[in-house]
Structure 1
Amino acid sequence: MRRSTLPAELLGLATAALFALPVVWMLLSSLKPPGQPESEFWPATFYWQNYAEVIEDERLLVFLGNSLFYAVATSAGTTVSCCVVAYGFAKLEWPGRDALFLVLIATMLLPFHVTMLPRFQLFAALGLYGTYWPLILPNWLAQEAFSVFLLRQFFLTIPDEVCDAARIDGAGEWTILSRIVVPMSYPALATVAVLQFLATWNEFAGPLLYLNDPARYPLAYALQQFVSAYRTQFGPLMAGAVLFTLPAAILFMIAGRIFTRGIAAGGLKG
């Protein structure tokens, strides 16, 4: 006799409601009219002027364009470079491969603050301070160890016989990677791209460290500016927070199923 799943479903709904509560509170707070206490959950009236006040700020489009450029460039770089490195760890035999992979995984334990100063000194010595290069270039050099790990795990699920058959037919490693492995790994590649996009979209410390021109700051910096400008105006502040999270939320809803498939498949084989 099949056991009832009702308790598990109710627990899942309660957990989802608990996590959704801050988002609902943010949305409702963005519609509160001026003067309404923050402690009141429901808006006295739906005051859409809060959004108009934020959108009318001319800097918003500049910051939005900067964030899109920054996020797309880093996502593309991470996906391409980590794909190449992960293929080398998964499908090529060479001395010290497994040991070097363990070293790569160990770098995930290093927090950003440990490498912040030497990286800053390096880019300053190269004359790249104040440009986008310190923010984008490392992503084209496979700096995301977790992305390499995720792609390697996915590549291991592809039978070696497929690659060996291509080698017998005369295909090189670049051909095997681009024409066999990549087409079979779209879920994992999409997962890496989405994860990097979301991480870049929310990043604040990196742009603040390397950029000295406010016109180049991403949207995360704009949100901090809104906090300073609208400290006593809670409605516009929450409206800015909603607009900041909207692109990332839309992306995740569109790619959610692919994202889930990529995460699940990435842990199938060790």
Structure 2
Amino acid sequence: MNTTVMRKDSPPDRATPSPPSDRTNRPASRGIRGTTGRVGLYAVLVVLAAVILLPFVWMVISSVKADRDVFTVPIQWIPTSYHWDNFVHIWTDIPLATYLGNSLILSVVITFLQVLTGSFAAYGFAKVRFPGRDVLFMGYIATIAVPWQAYMVPQYIIMQHLGLVNSRWSLILLQAFGAFGVFLMRQFYLTIPDELSEAARLDGLSEYGIWARIILPLSKPALASLALLTFVNTWNDYMGPFIYLTDNNLWTVQIGLRSFIGQFNAQYAMIMAGSVLSVLPILAIFLFGQRYFVRGIAASGMKG
């Protein structure tokens, strides 16, 4: 007699738990690495900023020292005595107000002319099609590579024959045009769609109207960048006023501070005090237009 043995189904084997995957740890590790990288980057930027600002800090500290304490070895970062009267005497020892006014006049006028001529010329190179446009633009930009010392003597001879030496007009006419400003504005204009100009032409607007009513309102960041760079370069210019301006009443602040340098000695503390006062307008203008300056430089580098 055969007996059938009924086998009960054995219960299924329980799945053994798998070890935790490395994927669960990746977000945390990435977050740690990202935080560490940012901290390291900020630390490097702080160190670089401190190195860059160190000469300015030394200038400010030296402006309230005595002349004999400016170039002491080792450097006295904390003066033994503070001479705040340096900022009072500098207004009476030299006509500093006249020098600052001359620098302001030249900087404002030259900045206005460079922004005007640079933006207008850049519009022609970027939005107007004519034969030889790109070749002419490359030739014009190539003049940036020519050092100023190579043609400063012919420029002086031209200004002398025109009778403009020892006048502001010599510096204004020589610096009213700049290839760098044309390049900067053209690079920004290339980011503006050509369809806007084409639509304006179809509506009967002239090229002057397109430039003034459409392109310029869209170019505020680039205009602010060019204005700031031109103002700073003109304000800090030394060689131009030194060559063309001989009248003391026409001197700029950079030339005026040279009055504290004598044949056998120099009033270094007064020079530092005047340098601090000359930096303040530049600092104020940069802080006021910093947002537009950064946007203009970033946008102008998109194409090229």
Bucket of the pairwise TM-score, normalised by the shorter protein: over 0.9
1:47 to 2:80 alignment? no
Number of the residue aligned with 2:224: 190
Number of the residue aligned with 1:8: 41
Q: CA deviation at 1:159?
A: 0.4
Q: CA deviation at 1:50?
A: 1.1
2-side partners of 1:164 and 1:229: how far apart?
A: 64
Match of 2:183 among 149, 173, 187: 149
Judge conservation of contact 1:135–1:207 (CA < 8 Å) in 2: yes
Q: Where in structure 2 are the equivalents of 1:14-29 lying within 5 Å?
A: 14-29=47-62
- Which structure dedicates a bigger proportion of its chain to helix? 1
1-side partners of 2:51 and 2:100: how far apart?
A: 30
Letter in 2 for 1:111: P
1:102 to 2:138 alignment? yes
Judge conservation of contact 1:231–1:237 (CA < 8 Å) in 2: no
Q: Where in structure 2 are the equivalents of 1:186-265 lying within 5 Å?
A: 186-228=220-262, 231-265=265-299
Q: CA deviation at 1:162?
A: 0.6
2-side partners of 1:56 and 1:229: how far apart?
A: 21
Aligned to 1:181, what secondary structure does the other structure show?
Answer: helix
1:79 to 2:115 alignment? yes
Which sections of structure 1, spanning at least 5 residues, go unmatched?
A: none
2-side partners of 1:268 and 1:126: how far apart?
A: 42
Letter in 2 for 1:135: L
Aligned to 2:219, what secondary structure does the other structure show?
Answer: helix
Q: CA deviation at 1:153?
A: 0.3
Identity of aligned residues (%): 40
1-side partners of 2:287 and 2:81: how far apart?
A: 29
1:175 to 2:214 alignment? no
2-side partners of 1:231 and 1:128: how far apart?
A: 34
Q: CA deviation at 1:243?
A: 1.1
Q: CA deviation at 1:212?
A: 2.5
Aligned to 1:56, what secondary structure does the other structure show?
Answer: helix
1-side partners of 2:256 and 2:203: how far apart?
A: 54
Q: CA deviation at 1:86?
A: 0.3
Task: From the superposition, tell whether residues 170 and 203 of structure 1 become closer, same or farther in structure 2 (CA, over 3 Å).
Answer: same
Number of the residue aligned with 1:133: 169
CA RMSD of aligned residues (A): 1.7
Judge conservation of contact 2:62–2:70 (CA < 8 Å) in 1: no
Q: CA deviation at 1:124?
A: 1.4
Runs of 4+ residues over 6 Å off in structure 1: none
2-side partners of 1:98 and 1:264: how far apart?
A: 23
Larger Rg: 1 or 2?
2
- TM-score (norm: length of structure 2): 0.84
Judge conservation of contact 2:141–2:180 (CA < 8 Å) in 1: yes
Which sections of structure 2, spanning at least 5 residues, go unmatched?
A: 1-29
Task: From the superposition, tell whether residues 206 and 35 of structure 1 become closer, same or farther in structure 2 (CA, over 3 Å).
Answer: closer
